[in-house]
Amino acid sequence: MPMIGEVSAPVAVLKVTSPDDIANYKGKIKGAVVLVSKPAEIPTNEADNAYDAVIPPARGVGRPQGGFAERQRIMRALAQEQPAAVLLDSGKADNLFNMSSASRYQPSDVPMAYVSHEDYSLIYRLAEAGPVAMKINLAGTFSPGPVPASITVAEIRGSQFPDERVIIGGHLDSWDLGQGALDNGTGSMAVLEAARALKVLGWKPKRTITFILFTGEEQGGIGADIFMKNHAAEIPKMDAALVHDTGTGKVFSIALEELYETAPLMAEIYEPLREVFELQPLSTRYFGSSDHVAFLRAGVPAYFCIQKPAHYREAHHSQTDTFDKVIPEEINEGAALLAAWAWNVSEMPVALAHHQPAAPRRAGE
């Protein structure tokens, strides 16, 4: 699908908090360059963990509201009004750009582009003060696609229960403004280093320990979804999964992901690690938005590493997600934690309990 080429158009600032609000602009924004939100507020106080730094909690405990699916509904409603393009605020300081995916990496219904936070704020202020016209030129193209991509899987076979699997993972794909060092080169390297460490120790785990470098995470978890489809027969005997996907900072907890029925056994697995790795108690927050969600949806106990921010919010998805941001000591420690957690799960007398699977994901979710 071609992009739009050069277009001169009036700028329209919309006040939209739900898909229904688009009805207020019926017939009024055809051919316009549209801004659908106020300029982002760039936090000056760091959140205490990398995930909250990127996706702030809605109100303390619970799942964030207005997530990916809601934004997609707004964009679909907006597309009916046929604006020329939608501009998004990069939400980052220092003129950095951002990248994300609409419609699981399908062409969006309306051309969309990030502009830097500074430029977005300027356009917004000018448009609030009076009429603004813009000339934009989106020169991007789509390759014919689809193209093949690989998921990397390795395992150390279990000695007693080889069909049961403990899984640790990160994702090898990244956005291409930077190098993807923090999102998610560091998680991928932690998984590789955990595999290397367990291999050289020569220990024989009771259950199989599986190491996975996913792909397609940034496009909406499509790699993990395909992995679960291809390995559907193994799902009943997947014991647990743990994903490392918020950059280079120290792992200081593991999120229980509301799997409270697994808490007693998880405590047996986790408590011995606390002194060694200076860990806080298990986290009771829900952290979605990474490859472990595909496991959760399939009923497999799946958990997420909670990490210190370590400039994750600033760097991820931007030009500055580069190798110089990596803190070797912290990512090496994270690798050791993944290895130790996987080992402890593999040695438990019983497996972690599965839960009721969720309904299959609908298109666009």
Q: For Zn ion, which is the closer residue by CB, 175 or 341?
A: 175
Which of 245, 257, 291, 314 binds Zn ion (CB under 5 A)? It is 245
182 φ, ψ to 5°?
Answer: -90, -30
Say how many C-beta atoms besides its own lie within 10 A of residue 46's C-beta: 16
Stretch that binds Zn ion, among 64-72, 109-117, 226-234, 240-248 (CB under 5 A): 240-248
Q: State how far Cα 48 lies from the chain centre.
A: 18
Q: Contacting Zn ion (CB under 5 A), which of 81, 164, 173, 183?
A: 183
Determine if 291 is a binding residue for Zn ion (CB under 5 A).
no
Residue 5 pairs in a beta bridge with 138
User: Rg for the chain (alpha carbons), in Å?
Assistant: 22
Q: Does 81 sit near Zn ion (CB under 5 A)?
A: no
- 360 CB-near residues (< 8 Å, 6+ apart): 297
Between residues 184 and 262, which has the closer beta carbon with respect to Zn ion? 184
Nearer to Zn ion, 123 or 254 (CB): 254
Q: Is 320 in the site for Zn ion (CB under 5 A)?
A: no
Tokens 């501009």 correspond to what residue?
A: 87
Helix (H/G/I), strand (E/B), else coil: 114: strand
Catalytically annotated residue among 81, 217, 257, 314: 217
Catalytic-residue membership of 217: yes
Q: Which one, 186 or 262, has the nearer CB to Zn ion? A: 186
DSSP annotation string for 158-177: -SSEEEEEEEEEEE----SS
Residue 318 interacts with Zn ion (CB under 5 A): yes or no: no
Please name the residue ranges forming H helices in the chain. Answer: 50-54, 68-79, 117-129, 186-201, 222-230, 263-277, 292-297, 312-315, 328-347
Q: Single out the segment in contact with Zn ion by CB under 5 A; choices: 155-163, 183-191, 230-238, 280-288.
A: 183-191
Asked whether position 321 contacts Zn ion by CB under 5 A, the answer is no
Q: Which of 89, 183 has the CB closer to Zn ion?
A: 183
Q: Which of 37, 184, 186, 318 binds Zn ion (CB under 5 A)?
A: 184
Which residues form the interface with Zn ion (CB under 5 A)? 183-184, 245
Active site positions, annotated? 217
